[in-house]
Structures are given as C-alpha cells and as structure tokens.
Amino acid sequence: MDFLMSGLAACGACLFTNPLEVVKTRMQLQGELRAPGTYQRHYRNVFHAFITIGKVDGLAALQKGLAPALLYQFLMNGIRLGTYGLVEAGGYLHTAEGTLSPVRSAAAGALAGVMGAYLGSPIYMVKTHLQAQAATEIAVGHQYNHQIFPPQSWKVALAAAMVSGIAVVLAMTPFDVVSTRLYNQPTDAQGKGLMYRGLLDALLQTARTEGIFGMYKGIGASYFRLGPHTILSLFFWDQLRMVYYTYTK
C-alpha cells in the first residue's frame, strides 16, 4: 500500500509541477558549453520562459513529457517511499532498546533512494528529450525527434485517458469514500442518518479520526475500477469522433 499511495501522491503533484520541469529543462540546456554573451538567450527567467514557450510552442508544450514524468514519479517515489515505509514498519530502524537509529534511517533512506533513481533513470532520460523539444526559433540543446505515438493514433487517446484516470481518482476518492459511508450508515425510524449529518460532517469526521489516508481508503480498487472506465470512455469517444468526421466530410 505504501508503494501505491506514495506513487499516486507523486503523480498528483507532477500534474501541477511538470510545466516548471519543462521550463527548468530548457533553461539548463540554454547556452550549453558556450561562454556567457556568445549565444542568444531565449529564456531570460522563469516567467519569461513560461510566456515564450506558451506563445511559440503553444500552451500544451508546457506539459511536454507528462507521460514519462508521471511514470518516473510513480516508480521513483513509489519505490523510494514505499521501501522506506516497509523498512520502518518492519522495525529495522530501531535499536534493541526501541530508540530510532539515525544511522539505520540514513542507510535505509539512501538504499531506497538509489533503487528509485536507478530504475527511474531511463524514463527520466526520455522525459528530458521530450521536454527539450521546441520550435526552431526557441530551441536549446540537442533536439531529439522522438514521437511516442503517430498523429491521430488511438494510443494517444489511450495514454491521455490513463493520465486523466489518475487525476480523477486522486480528486474524487475522498468524496467516493464519504458517499459510500453516507449510503451505508444506519438510520433511525425517520430515515435520518445516525453517524453523519451530511457530506461535510462525514468528511470532517473521517479526516479527524482516520487521518488523510483514511480519505483515500480503497484508492487502488477505485483506480482499477474507474481507471479502465475512464480510459475506455475517452478512447471510444475519441474513436467515434474520428469515424464521424471521416464520413461526414
């Protein structure tokens, strides 16, 4: 469970931070192995880089490399935090007297970090190549012409649906948990719930009693149920639109 929770949490954060990763990659490649003042600075600062990429490459370019970025975050953080959580749960971080050992904690953290970085490195490379891709007038660094999927491929819709499935599950699971409990709670003779007064009360009680992880109980099952549903819905929708526009032109 630690692997899944930490991996999904990192993916949720990645949806918001990936544009900054695109900007960081471009700025780090700008002027590679060239003395200051001998090259054109396409990106003067973070804010200028955001505006430039959005204007020239389009707003969608700020999410370049999102698919490998999500996979990288899931693997790296899932393995890193999940492994550390397992070691901690097994009691290996404490001495015979029951005190926390800084040396063991540092060793466990280092081992988990090395494992995550080693397995995630190839994916990080692909992510960097994709995020560096830019229009000729603002290109920096070596330009790889990777194309994960051909244009208009059904795989594009499938990949997008998989990513959106993660976002939907992260956003909706707390409400799904609460709705399940509201529907399942015992009632009095008038049909009034005996445990929760309503949606907000159920959310607050769950968070106070069970913590933030209590809000995400069953998230794995939710994704394997909602994920395929979202994927297939968007996939069939996209394919039906393509068929419609093909035969109506």
Walking along the chain (249 residues) 10 residues at a time, the average pLDDT comes out as 71 89 96 93 96 95 90 84 81 87 90 88 93 96 81 67 76 92 92 91 93 87 75 78 81
Q: Give the alpha-carbon dihedral of 106, 109, 114, 117, to 10 degrees.
A: -140
**Residue 56 within any structural domain of the chain:** yes
Q: Residue 3: its pLDDT value, please?
A: 66
Residues 6+ apart with CB under 8 A from 64: 22, 57, 130, 131, 133
CA proximity to 8, closest of 74, 85, 81, 66: 74
Could you give phi then psi for residue 55, rounded to 5 degrees? -75, -45
Please indicate, yes or no, whether residues 7 and 127 belong to a single structural domain of this protein. Answer: yes
CA gap 94, 96 in Å, rounded = 7
Residues 164 and 127 occupy one common structural domain: no
Q: Write down which residue in 92, 110, 136 finishes a domain.
A: 136
* Tokens at 7, concatenated: 């991996």
Note the pLDDT of residue 175.
Answer: 93
> pTM for the complete prediction?
0.64
How close are the terminal C-alpha atoms of the chain, in Å? 50
pLDDT on residue 237:
81
Same domain, 131 and 174: no
Whether 40 and 119 share a structural domain: yes
Q: Are residues 29 and 106 in the same domain?
A: yes
Domain that holds residue 36: 1-136
How far apart are alpha carbons 8 and 220 in whole angstroms?
9
* Tokens read off for 226: 């909602």
Q: What is the pLDDT of residue 63?
A: 92
